[in-house]
A and B are shown apart, each in its own frame.
Chain A
Amino acid sequence: MSITNLLENWSDFRQQHPSDDRPHREYKWAMSIDLDSCTGCNACSVACYAENNLPVVGKEKFAHGHSHHWIRIERYWDNDGREFADQGAQFLPMLCQHCESAPCETVCPVGATNHTADGLNSQVYNRCVGSRYCNANCPYKVRYFNWYNYPTIDNVWPEPMNQQLNPDVTVRSKGVMEKCTFCVQRLTVAKSDARTKGRSVLDGEVQTACQQVCPTGAISFGNLVDPEAKVGKQWMKQQVDLNKDKQAKDAAEEAVKLRGYRILEELRTYPSVMYLEQLRESAI
């Protein structure tokens, strides 16, 4: 980019988004979470522990903030003026947002966290030196550090529990950062299966663990490039654009009932997870 071009198109340059230059061709994994369906049952969190070999750190370490829930259910309360206590409970499943312009990726000194071609924010455990800069720069604070050596010293999986570890997922040692991968081990298998059949992964062929167990079907996951995918349809219906930092919901007038939004969009992280706002009594 020449300097004249830079000066003339400064505002465009500032607005430019990484995937404008290199659009996703085959895959762009994305998620949408319907907060209206979420009951806060924590099944997604449990499934994630089982699928991704997350250590159950115990009460004491959990209280110290050393937990590893890659997807966590956050509770918010809106009890003012309600008839029954806790009626205003709201739940928000929070997981790595797989930002298209991820703040964690630029700051890692060793390049241990990268963007993949199919739009995932990947974490290379072997490369991580544990500077924890990625977590410091993550606005969502969804990155979890291995504060202890869970597999060996802390013995989180005593015999025979080590038999239930997922063989497709690394058991991380102390000193590395980890986070939600959108169940990348499942995605790789699905992609390679599809490739042998000479096509792309079809919608519904691959599910993340959290999506699979969600009793109310609040989580949908799929390929945003695929026009048939449920996720893509949801994003389209809610007029949520991956490459924008402000969505139609904020601009729309009251009459238009749009619910789709992404968290902390104004930081221009371009997250891949869309949330569907919970419907309130007043809105129905």
Chain B
Amino acid sequence: MGKDIREDIAWAQINKDVLKSLESPRRMYWVILFIAIAMIGVAVGSEIYQYTTGMGVSNKNNSHVWGLYIATFIFWIGMSHSGTLLSAILHLMHADWRKPIYRFAEAMTTFSLMTAGLFVLVHLGRLWQVYYVMPYPNERWVWPNFQSPLVWDMFAIATYLSSSVLFLYVGMIPDLAICRDNIHAGWRKKLYTVMSLGWEGTDRQWRNFRITYLTIACFLIPLAVSVHSIVASDFAMSNMPGWHVTSFPPYFVAGALYSGCAAIITLFIILRYVFRFEEYMTLPIMKKLVRLTFAIAMVWTYLNLIEFASVWYGHDQTAKDQLIFKATGPYAPFFWAMIFFGSILPLMLAFKRFQTHLPILFVVSILLNVGMWLERWMIIAPSFAHGHYPWTWDHDQWPSLVQWGIVFGSFGWFTLLFMVFCKVFPSVSMYEVKEMVYHRSLALKHKPAVKGEY
């Protein structure tokens, strides 16, 4: 196995390479940006149509009141988890290889949360009244219903979003100072000057920085776990057969980490190409990432089996019928596609030859996320099609183009935010890569004659 990073890259070279990403990406960057904006256009058009005409145009109905919006909402919330995994958990575990890739993973966290938040608005029947969900002082003393998992959701997501923005920003301060020192004019200079908060790299600043960063990392880990557990309780707390499952929170968290890791692989490959980061986002790092994804995929598969088993051996006959309905009814193709993409396809990642084959990994990682999106949809749609009450059973519902358009556009929105971020802020952590190079050269100095892997 090769090295995670070359130990002979000069520090100045690191600065140069990363700063270059702020200026001259490949032409592919602009193509991606243009496609993203076009996709947002589709979503905005659909939303305007839905807003003015009514929720009915999304082709949901009285027994299928939730649809793709909620499914995609869970998908984006889930996507946000791996940033925290890479930056906070692996930071505490001193896993060095995360350093060149955690910055963009964290940005992914923030932007996918921002995308997920939009789905809450799109889903609401009266989105102009969304502030009712927030506890704000009012003369009538009317509060939100604190029993409702949706209110917990609101708190959890708001907390997670603000903390992960803070974490992303704090971790970026030394790098912003580097940007400030290397750019001499224009709006960028002003931006970096303000955002680097007067960072000079003194010992005291570094000490405070380390402590702050570690504290936020520790704070963020339980938060990440709780956020998706709370999203899972939207379902687990209800009495709908197929949702009323105790193992839902860990199942959702595993699914979240899974889709997030797959998304990191996709973005890794895109960034590596678009910003010419071959020196930093190296194949050995990809290999570790792929192994991590494989492990999480297997955890997810296991929890998925547990979910089926607890329904199957439970005494709720309706839930059992619903499981059979999922696997054999009109949703069967999607159900089995989910099993294939989520549990069978990742087995490929166990083979060494695929672990560093970027074109294959690119396709596979996207397909894994298709599988995870299908999983969320399979939680929502078939449950409404086969609930407790037989009246709902013969109602077939297929999402309209409005729903598909908004879901489609959300990917554009995420891509736009992400690509703009990578162009404005350093998407590889310069100071941590330097640390990595430094530690590695120290290690080599002390152990000059190590054979084999290192």
Contact = CB atoms under 8 A, between A and B. Distances in A.
B328 interface: no
A139 B126 contact: no
Nearest to B55: A147
B56 A108 contact: no
Contacts of B49: none
Contacts of A61: 56
Contacts of A109: 132-133, 144-145, 148, 150-151, 154
A157 interface: no
Main secondary structure of the interface of A (DSSP, over half): loop
A235 interface: no
A139 B143 contact: no
A276 interface: no
Interface residues of B, number: 45
B118 to A, nearest CB: 15
A174 B132 contact: no
A131 interface: yes
Contact of B239 (A128, A139, A141, A148): A139
A111 B143 contact: yes
B56 to A, nearest CB: 3
A267 B388 contact: yes
A40 interface: no
Contacts of A103: 238-239
B124 A141 contact: no
Contacts of B129: 129
Interface string B127-166: 1011011000000001111011111001000000000000
B59 A64 contact: yes
Given A103-B239, A140-B389, A108 B145 contact: yes
Contacts of B238: 103, 107, 133, 136-137
A147 B395 CA distance: 17
Contacts of B123: 131
A147 B54 contact: yes
A64 B61 contact: yes
A132 B133 CA distance: 13
A76 B150 CA distance: 36
Main secondary structure of the interface of B (DSSP, over half): loop
Q: Which of the listed residues A141, A146, A148 has the most CB atoms from chain B within 10 Å of its own CB?
A: A141
Contacts of B237: 107
Interface residues of A, number: 43
B395 to A, nearest CB: 6
Given A129-B124, A140-B389, A174-B125, A65 B150 contact: no
B301 interface: no
Contact of A136 (B65, B133, B390): B65
Contacts of A48: none
A18 to B, nearest CB: 12
Contact of B397 (A65, A106, A131, A267): A65
A130 B58 CA distance: 14
A73 to B, nearest CB: 11
B239 A137 contact: yes
Given A107-B238, A109-B144, A148-B53, A130 B124 contact: yes
Nearest to B391: A74
Contacts of A107: 145, 147-150, 237-238
Given A65-B61, A139-B239, A129 B387 contact: no
A27 to B, nearest CB: 24
Nearest to B149: A107
A174 B53 CA distance: 9
Contacts of A108: 145, 148
Interface of A: 61, 64-67, 72, 74, 76, 94, 103, 106-111, 127-133, 135-137, 139-141, 143-149, 153, 174-177, 264, 267
5 contacts: A106-B145, A109-B133, A109-B150, A129-B129, A137-B240
8 closest pairs, A vs B, by CB?
A130-B125, A65-B61, A147-B56, A175-B125, A109-B150, A148-B54, A175-B126, A111-B145
